[in-house]
Amino acid sequence: MMRKVVLDTETTGLEVEGGHRVIEIGCIELLDRRPSGREFHRYLNPERVIDPGAVAVHGITDEFLRDKPRFAEVADEFVAFIAGAELLIHNAAFDTAFLDNELQRAGETFGRVADHATVVDTLALARKKYPGQKNTLDALCKRLGVDNSHREVHGALLDAHLLADVWVAMTAGQGALALGLDATGVHAEAVRVAAWDASIRPRVLRATDADTAAHAARLAAIDKASGGSVWKREETADA
């Protein structure tokens, strides 16, 4: 089974073409649909000012990022973390465009995100599963019963954790199967159900003499009414 990494970013603004940069990366690793405990989380100095509108969304300020590393300083570690994984990203085109730009700035040898991992857009998955509905992360949390009451502002690591819960619930087909559920309990329940199914044996009911006679009488009546039934012709041919 391919290792999965849930990824989210925060940026200085909305348009990478306008020179906006990544200021936070949050990744969590999933093994067997559960967090492994491995995370990659970095705040980054974008070497430019953050748009006021972006600050209102994520609460990250220029002053806070002043002493943080540049992306190039963590690029090797980031690429190593996502290497060979299936990346789960909500509105993946946005995040990968920014990350590809950062990788290019860090050096041509880093390539693009798609050179290191397979990208899965969870927004596209949600739109397919819930067509015509609102499929923002907040909307999906509400629909699937994922608690996001502590999400006062956006944050890459926080949103990655929420997206992981949403993805598990969405792909399991039931909101109750969230990441907080004990894996042993899930496995035990699966084994119990499988054992119950295996114990079922079909009950064979054989026809009595009366059943056989009634069946023969019914076929004779059909034969008489139809001027020669298929069953009767087959019986004659077999004889």
> pLDDT tens digits for 73-121?
999 999 999 999 999 999 999 999 999 999 999 999 999 999 999 999 9
In whole angstroms, give the CA distance from residue 74 to residue 106: 9
Known catalytic residue at 154: yes
Does 198 map to a domain? no
Between 172 and 49, the higher pLDDT residue:
49
Does 21 map to a domain? yes
Q: Are residue 120 and residue 63 in the same domain, yes or no?
A: yes
Q: Are residue 176 and residue 220 in the same domain, yes or no?
A: no
Q: How many domains does the chain have?
A: 2
What is the rounded average pLDDT for all residues in the chain?
Answer: 83
Q: Are residue 125 and residue 181 in the same domain, yes or no?
A: yes
The three-class DSSP label of residue 91 is coil
Q: By the 8 A CB rule, do 178 and 168 touch?
A: yes
Does 202 map to a domain? no
Q: Are residue 79 and residue 161 in the same domain, yes or no?
A: yes
Its domain, for residue 71, covers 4-193
Q: By the 8 A CB rule, do 1 and 30 touch?
A: no
In whole angstroms, give the CA distance from residue 169 to residue 160: 14
Q: What is the pLDDT of residue 200?
A: 42
Does 165 map to a domain? yes
pTM of the shown model: 0.72
Q: Are residue 160 and residue 218 in the same domain, yes or no?
A: no
Percent of the chain whose predicted confidence (pLDDT) is above 90: 68
CA atoms within 13 Å, Cβ hemisphere of 8: 19
Q: Are residue 55 and residue 115 in the same domain, yes or no?
A: yes
Q: Are residue 225 and residue 118 in the same domain, yes or no?
A: no
* pLDDT tens-place string over residues 129-141: 999 999 999 999 9
Catalytic residue among 154, 161, 187, 215: 154
Does 231 map to a domain? yes
With a CB cutoff of 8 Å and minimum separation 6, the contacts of 129 are 170
Q: Are residue 12 and residue 86 in the same domain, yes or no?
A: yes
Does 70 map to a domain? yes
Q: Are residue 120 and residue 231 in the same domain, yes or no?
A: no
Does 201 map to a domain? no
Q: What is the pLDDT of residue 182?
A: 41
The pLDDT of residue 47 is above 50 = yes
Q: By the 8 A CB rule, do 85 and 3 touch?
A: yes
Q: What is the pLDDT of residue 187?
A: 38
Q: Are residue 217 and residue 130 in the same domain, yes or no?
A: no
**CATH, residue 146:** 3.30.420.10
b/e code 212-235 from CB counts within 10 Å (16+ = b): eeeeeeeeeeebeeeeebeeeeee
Neighbours of 169 (CB within 10 A): 21
Q: Are residue 186 and residue 109 in the same domain, yes or no?
A: yes
Does 125 map to a domain? yes
* pLDDT tens-place string over residues 187-233: 333 333 333 344 444 444 566 666 666 666 666 666 665 555 554 55
CA separation, residue 85 to residues 31, 119, 171 (Å): 10, 9, 18
